[in-house]
Amino acid sequence: MLVQRPFWKQLIENAWQEKSIIWLMGLRRIGKTSLCHSFEGIEYLDCERPRVRQLMADPEGFLESKKGALLALDEIHRLDNPSELLKLAADHYPSIKIIATGSSTLGASAKFKDTLTGRKREIWLTPLLLQEIEDFGNPDIRHRFLFGGLPSFFARKQISEIDFQEWIDAYWAKDIQDLFSVGKRSSFQKFAELLLAHSGGMFEAAKFAIPCEVTRPTIANYLHVLEETFVVHVIRPYSTHRTTEIVMAPKVYGFDTGFICYVKGRKELRAEDMGFMWEHCVLNEIQGHLQTRAINYWRDKQGHEIDFVLNRRSENGLVAIECKFNTVLEDITSTKLAGLGKNFQAFRDLYPNGCNFIVSHNVDTPFMKKHQDLDIWFVNPKDLIKKLQEK
């Protein structure tokens, strides 16, 4: 049964009000094809099929025959010159609405000679948002942590290591070999697995070069490819006070909690895993709802840290976000609040303007607590997004 995904459908419908071309990007098996099929009256064309590619050998003739149509062009990078067709459609056939799908950012591949600047809207389909998990059959957040947010993986009742390995093999064969030049498969996959195993940690290229048997520049190239194909998210430090802050070392997060559990060998979650997994889910919520990668973290040289910092580029200043899986209102004594607030206080000593959030899964209604002169809001992810969209 095809699960409807109203959030993503509305995002696409809104984007079509602005441009006729939608670039729907996201990981393999993230649900791009199913989402395309969910639009009534859409004509689905799989560009991996030779017959379909032959239909588009004459782009102008193909588009002439599709005036007024709604088209899904899946795996469009398989065409010889995909940007030519999309540019022609945008400039001369605005009555045709197109969803073109791919597993990487549009500018990442040499296949796209034109990135269609000003001619398209990009939508990044992320792993399942928390508001979607009940629609996909299981509202248990722990299931989302362990099985991950790829719909077909999440829908399972038992973990299948074969599925994870098949995904990794397909990622290499169809997303990497077709689009990028990365050299040795074994080194690239080793690097990807190490990043997933150390997800959320500080990244130092030198630490990966020896075990992967490649040079530091090669590691930098690998990281770029993994980021462009959404397998990792590079979260860079926010800083302007360079003498007191961490300014260079990024943190790298894996794309999906299920794959992180897989490479770590986890088949059951431990109590100490919850906060770590929650942090990844909160990051996914921000990325999916706000459609942004413009997310930083903050750390000073005294060890104070803020999980995520968003610069909303307004008079409201910087948004500081800490992730805490459980928050029990009765437990927030002045002593505990002081412990929770010390990182915010250190951050606000440097950046006084902005909102402070602690995001927890068990906060039903947002509430605010004062720590010295700071207002700290306790919210769930849904209310966090509402407040961020108000800014």
- The per-residue pLDDT for range 231-268, each reduced to its tens digit, is 999 999 999 877 888 778 999 999 999 999 999 999 99
pLDDT for 338? 66
Q: In this structure, are 311 and 326 located in the same domain?
A: yes
Last residue of a domain, one of 124, 154, 183: 124
User: Does the pLDDT at position 340 exceed 60?
Assistant: yes
Range of the domain at 107: 6-124
Average of per-residue pLDDT values in the chain: 90
Please indicate, yes or no, if residue 242 is contained in any of the structural domains. no
Q: What is the pLDDT of residue 312?
A: 75
Residues 90 and 186 in one domain: no
98 and 160 assigned to the same domain? no
**55 assigned to some structural domain:** yes
Give yes or no: residues 108 and 169 share one domain.
no
CA neighbor of 201 nearest in space, from 165, 271, 250? 250
In a domain, 371, yes or no: yes
Contact partners, residue 283, CB within 8 Å, separation at least 6: 233, 235, 253, 295, 308
**Rounded to an integer, what is the distance from CA 24 to the centroid of its chain?**
13
Residues 320 and 221 in one domain: no
The residue-averaged pLDDT of 333-358 equals: 85
- Tokens 């990966």 found at: 208
Same domain, 87 and 29: yes
Same domain, 197 and 300: no
d(CA 242, CA 391): 27
Domain presence at residue 284? no
* In a shared domain, residues 116 and 136: no
**What pTM did the predictor assign?**
0.93
**Which of 364, 259, 346, 85 lies closest to 356, judged by CA?**
346
Do residue 61 and residue 78 come from a single domain?
Answer: yes
Q: Are 112 and 139 in a shared domain?
A: no
Q: Is residue 111 over pLDDT 70? A: no
